[in-house]
């Protein structure tokens, strides 16, 4: 087993042994039929071991030389399923690497496989169970196997926590890196929209989608972000501390969960002790109109995005969203067994981004996110912080999700601003995260804040239980 990425980098000619051990661990802990059946890994790469062997025999080519990485299965990796968890894309494997995957390979990384996820990155239904896909099944949480791993990068978060891989890639539209990172006790960041290429990523929203790094520690997230963005210095700035940084505590973004909010209040002293100027600020919370507008925007952009993307995966399957809906109706016993696709049907009714309903909703959404919420809150702050999610809820395929969240992801998601999270401790023996939001391009500042408060820990692997 590995200690961390930095230890691996100091131990040359060890990649094959590490990759082999991790593949054995995946088979023992993750696969259907194993005692735990975590189901965080959707597919393993048949070339991972020979690639690792080649790394051991070659001079280092980059900062991730020989380091295994797991990539969310809505990102194209040549020869791997890249299904977004949907049978619509099953049997149509990717024939190319997405640009972000090429960056990983150029940095020397070994792609271990692809991670399970909430199907279609959790846009299909408002009644979904996070972590479930028709292709990969339901991802468990290694802290407690009946608890949810979060959505939609559920497999990425669970695999990291379970020690199946040192680094993973997720994607986020609104909360999909933040949530599984928080619920699984790992770190992650959604970079500013546009910072990491979305080419070769199954789309939801052109205005809100962003791939990003996830790892056990903030330092590892910073290193991986440098690779994905091609921007050096992120790790150095992450490690340089928070002295003089103005940190606004968004009092209106607390979760309402007593244990989570009490722990958050405790860790504020760590930031003040590290030299940050910590003070409370008010940040607007979304109402029904803001939530409805955001959903309208996402669904309209989804229609156009899939119409452009699906034909790139070749023939033999749906070519647009209407054909996806028809496919799922024909395969209802597999696709619609636990919840429907009513959001897809509403998207088709709304039409694409040329509609007035889309334009009006997007304009209102941006006005609220920027001028009502973020800009006033940042008047005297460099970074805003709040708890991310409460402890992981129990997975419920009959009733769907029912977790405890804060409002921290909504406004930055709409505006395309970055958000980072790191584990700040345990509540009821389950991890909870601290989130940090910043202006576009401030990723290193957010990670510096997260580094001060992070408390990495190992999962308990609790068996399913009542209560």
DSSP 155-182: HHHHHHHTTS-SEEEEEESSSTTHHHHH
211 touches 170 (CB < 8 A): yes
Q: Which of 40, 154, 176, 442 is catalytic?
A: 176
102 touches 197 (CB < 8 A): no
Question: Tens digits of per-residue pLDDT, 61-71?
Answer: 999 999 999 99
Strand ranges for 251-392 from DSSP E: 277-281, 383-387
Q: CA 425 to CA 434: how far, in whole Å?
A: 9
Q: Is residue 330 part of a domain?
A: no
| Cα angle for residues 127, 340, 289 (degrees, 5° grid) | 45
What's the pLDDT score for residue 42?
98
What's the pLDDT score for residue 10?
75
Q: CA 105 to CA 109: how far, in whole Å?
A: 5
Residue 329 a catalytic site member: no
Within 10 angstroms of residue 33's Cβ, the number of other Cβ atoms is: 6
Domain, as residue range, for 73: 5-288+363-453
Q: Hey, is 3 helix, strand or coil?
A: coil
* CA nearest to 111, candidates 36, 52, 161: 52
Average pLDDT, the chain: 97
Q: Hey, is 426 helix, strand or coil?
A: strand
pLDDT mean for each 10 residues of the chain (467 residues): 72 89 96 94 98 95 96 98 98 97 98 98 98 98 98 98 98 98 98 98 98 98 98 98 98 97 97 98 97 98 98 96 98 98 98 97 98 98 98 97 95 98 98 98 98 96 90
Q: Is residue 339 part of a domain?
A: no
Q: CA 223 to CA 282: how far, in whole Å?
A: 33
Question: Tens digits of per-residue pLDDT, 208-220?
Answer: 999 999 999 999 9
38: tokens are 């975590």
Q: Which of 15, 72, 82, 210 is catalytic?
A: 72
213: tokens are 């790094």
290: tokens are 């803001």
C-alpha distance from residue 143 to each of 35, 147, 274, 458 (Å): 15, 8, 30, 8
* CA nearest to 312, candidates 218, 198, 437, 401: 198
Contacts of residue 42, defined as CB under 8 A and 6 or more positions apart, other chains included, come to 73, 81, 83, 85, 113, 114, 115, 116, 117, 133, 135, 136, 155
Contacts of residue 136, defined as CB under 8 A and 6 or more positions apart, other chains included, come to 39, 42, 73, 85, 116, 117, 155
Q: CA 149 to CA 184: how far, in whole Å?
A: 6
Backbone angles phi, psi at 170, to 5 degrees: -120, 180
351 touches 410 (CB < 8 A): no
338: tokens are 């636990």
Residue 152 a catalytic site member: yes
Question: Tens digits of per-residue pLDDT, 169-183?
Answer: 999 999 999 999 999
Backbone angles phi, psi at 448, to 5 degrees: -65, -40
Q: Are strands 419-427 and 187-190 parallel, antiparallel or unpaired?
A: antiparallel
Q: Hey, is 444 helix, strand or coil?
A: helix
Q: Is residue 192 part of a domain?
A: yes
Q: Hey, is 224 helix, strand or coil?
A: helix
Question: DSSP character for 283?
Answer: -
Question: DSSP character for 267?
Answer: H
Q: What is the CA radius of gyration of the chain?
A: 21
Q: Is residue 336 part of a domain?
A: no
Residue 406 a catalytic site member: no
Q: What is the domain count for the chain?
A: 1
Q: Is residue 340 part of a domain?
A: no
CATH of the domain at 182: 3.90.1300.10
* CA nearest to 272, candidates 297, 310, 244: 244
- Kindly state the percentage of the chain with pLDDT values over 90: 96
Question: Tens digits of per-residue pLDDT, 34-93?
Answer: 989 999 999 999 999 999 999 999 999 999 999 999 999 999 999 999 999 999 999 999
Q: Is residue 350 part of a domain?
A: no
What's the pLDDT score for residue 4?
80
Q: Is residue 462 part of a domain?
A: no
Q: Which of 152, 181, 182, 207 is catalytic?
A: 152
Q: Is residue 461 part of a domain?
A: no
């Amino acid at each position: 087993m590995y200690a961390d990425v930095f230890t691996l980098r100091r131990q040359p000619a060890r990649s094959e042994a590490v990759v082999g051990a991790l593949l054995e661990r995946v088979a023992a802990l993750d696969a259907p039929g194993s005692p735990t059946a975590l189901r965080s890994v959707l597919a393993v790469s048949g070339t991972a071991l020979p690639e690792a062997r080649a790394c051991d025999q070659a001079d280092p080519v980059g900062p991730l030389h020989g380091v295994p990485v797991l990539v969310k299965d809505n990102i194209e990796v040549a020869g791997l399923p890249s299904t977004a968890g949907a049978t619509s894309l099953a049997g149509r494997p990717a024939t190319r690497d997405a640009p972000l995957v090429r960056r990983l390979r150029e940095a020397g990384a070994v792609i271990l496989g692809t991670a399970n996820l909430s199907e279609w990155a959790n846009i299909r239904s408002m009644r979904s169970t996070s972590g479930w896909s028709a292709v990969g099944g339901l991802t468990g949480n290694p802290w407690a196997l009946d608890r949810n791993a979060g959505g939609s990068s559920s497999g990425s978060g669970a695999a990291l926590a379970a020690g199946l891989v040192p680094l993973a890639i997720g994607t986020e539209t609104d909360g999909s890196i933040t949530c599984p990172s928080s619920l699984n006790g790992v770190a992650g960041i959604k970079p500013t929209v546009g910072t990491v290429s979305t080419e070769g990523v199954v789309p939801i929203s052109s205005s809100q989608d962003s791939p990003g790094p996830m790892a056990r520690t903030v330092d590892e997230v910073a290193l991986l972000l440098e690779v994905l963005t091609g921007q050096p210095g992120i790790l150095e700035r992450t490690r340089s501390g928070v002295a003089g940084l103005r940190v606004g505590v968004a009092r209106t973004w607390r979760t309402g969960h007593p244990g989570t909010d009490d722990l958050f209040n405790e860790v504020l002293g760590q930031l003040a002790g590290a030299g940050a100027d910590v003070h409370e600020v008010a940040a607007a919370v979304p109402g029904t109109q803001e939530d409805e507008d955001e959903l309208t925007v996402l669904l309209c952009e989804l229609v156009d995005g899939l119409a452009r993307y699906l034909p790139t995966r070749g023939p033999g399957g749906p070519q647009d969203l209407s054909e996806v809906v028809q496919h799922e109706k024909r395969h209802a016993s597999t696709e619609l067994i636990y919840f429907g696709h009513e959001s897809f049907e509403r998207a088709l009714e709304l039409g694409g981004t040329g509609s007035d309903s889309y334009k009006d909703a997007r304009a209102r959404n941006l006005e609220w996110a920027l001028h009502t919420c973020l800009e006033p809150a940042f008047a005297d702050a460099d970074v805003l912080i709040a708890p991310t999610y409460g402890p992981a809820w129990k997975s419920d395929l009959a009733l769907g999700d029912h977790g405890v969240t804060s409002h921290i992801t909504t406004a930055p998601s709409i505006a395309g601003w970055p958000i980072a999270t790191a584990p700040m401790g345990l509540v009821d023996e389950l991890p909870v995260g601290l989130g940090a939001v910043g202006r576009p391009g401030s990723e290193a500042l957010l990670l510096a804040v997260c580094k001060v408060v992070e408390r990495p820990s190992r999962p308990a692997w609790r068996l399913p239980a009542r209560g």
